[in-house]
Amino acid sequence: MMRESGILLPVSALPSKHGIGKLGQAAYDFVDFLCSAGCHYWQVLPLTPTSYGDSPYQSPSCFAGNPYLIDFDILADRGWLSHADYDGIAWDSDPDVIDYELLWRQVMPVLRIAYQNFAKRKPAAFKKFCTEQKAWLADYALFMALKDAHEGRAWDEWEPELRLCRRDAVATARKDYRTEIEFWQFVQFCFFSQWDSLKQYANQKGIRIIGDIPIYAAFDSAEVWAKPKLFQLDAEKKPVAVAGCPPDCFAVTGQLWGNPLWNWEGMAKDGYAWWLGRIGFTLRLYDVVRIDHFRGFERYYAIPYGAETAEHGKWVKGPDFALWKAAKAAFGDMNVIAEDLGNITPAVIRLLKRTGFPGMKVMQFAFDSDAENPYLPHNFETSNCVCYTGTHDNHTLRGWVKSNTDETNAYAMRYLGVKKPKKLPKAVLRAAWRSTAKIAIAPFQDFVNAPPSDRINTPSTLGGNWIYRTDASEFTPKLAAKIREMNETYGRLNRTDEQPADAQKE
């Protein structure tokens, strides 16, 4: 079995002088860093547009790419922008964090300038892109045009004919907003052109991309607006119940996500056609796909619509293996990682085994009980798993040590053979790489011993999330050499960069 490794770092966190990470030179430089570090994977998390709470898990589309990530320099190279269109703008209020409000005000005007120049001579590739992506792009572009026309208000605040997506009203809107619709199609054309080039470069360097399928769609999304039959909605398109998680030791009132629930019973009638389309799209977008909240396919937690907390929900049977049986029939063997964290029952374990997908082992969950803890490396029942030091929802390792009880840190020090709590982050990293898991992954923060403030996301909180940024000075040859040494020591070294150029091309 090949042993592999990777680094988790959202594109948004890459070094940038334009307020947020982009799909330009810094992204290519990070691929080179991964290559020199001897890693196999770059885990990017969702690339979808952010919305409520600045989270890509609450997106206006299940398919679209985030406009903020479009690189202006690449657009300038194509002749659609001049550097004066964007270099004189103040892109951040604090260079250490992402200011989404500022981006919301300033990115789109620059992209509109690019569109005006693009529209003078549209490349043939644009029409091809719109045709190939019509299944989702047509509704998304209209949805965004209408949101702009309604000053950004959610679709359930639009006039009744459009809110309910009446056929005549939609047909009229497609004519009235033709130019605006094309602008949003252009934005997606730019995003996917840049993403495809970056992914091709990464693959040529021997680096594979791990992406993400969030299990739920946001209520204020093109999918809920245009395809309400996919969801559990009433006649007025209000949710019957919403998604979340029950109370546990991490959230005493549970997690109230608020997403509408899928109408699994209805989708089963056409063999889960829409979900198969989504899975197929994502498998083409990435090399490996992490399925978010995998246990929700076996049973999902339904919270009454309007509830203020998640305390009074109930578990409801989901599609279970039927969806994945259909996916396997459509796509064969799939490169998938199942996020099997949280309330895991024997039925969820059976589903995971039937799919054959590797699950996740998170080291930060390993030391808060005893030697029977399933996240401790000696308890991994199979190597068919991915060992993480932490995920985007966890503390940095340094923050984790600080937040732990004395008892947890004491047990972790005994288990890992270190004498001081400050030695734990490095020891946890090495334990993950030393484990029998076929893939070991850590957030970039854990390689640089980042402080608690560099955490990406804190679940069940609003504000201050997804703002993490890196600086170019952090990606040093010395750090790459340290990671490479760890990969070599524990049999996880990607030697692609040592092959002759001709071999890489093959």
- Active-site positions? 292, 339, 393
Residue 142's alpha-carbon distances to 135, 184, 193, in angstroms, are 13, 8, 21
Q: Contact 70/23 with Cβ under 8 angstroms?
A: yes
* φ and ψ of 424, to 5 deg: -65, -45
Distance CA 12, CA 20 (A): 5
Taking alpha carbons only, the member of 398, 418, 411 closest to residue 372 is: 411
Tally of CB atoms within 10 A around 139: 20
Which one, of 154, 299, 166, lies nearest residue 239 by Cα?
154
The two three-digit tokens of residue 223, written as one number:
């999918």
> Could you give the 3-state DSSP secondary structure of residue 289?
strand
Q: Return the DSSP state at 239.
A: B
Give the chain's end-to-end CA distance (angstroms, integer): 22
Backbone angle region of 145, left / alpha / beta, with phi > 0 → left and psi within -120 to 50 → alpha: alpha
Residues in the chain: 506
Provide the edge-to-edge strand list for the sheet that holds 208-213: 336-338, 288-291, 208-213, 41-43, 4-8, 439-443, 385-388, 359-362
Q: Which of 416, 476, 412 is nearest to 447 (CA)?
A: 476
Asked if 37 contacts 497 with a C-beta cutoff of 8 angstroms, the reply is: no
Three-class SS state of 255: strand
Provide the sign of the torsion angle of the four alpha carbons 187, 456, 24, 102, taken in this order. Answer: positive
* Cβ-based neighbours of 506, under 8 Å, separated by 6 or more: none
Sign of the torsion formed by the C-alpha atoms of 378, 383, 384 and 386: positive
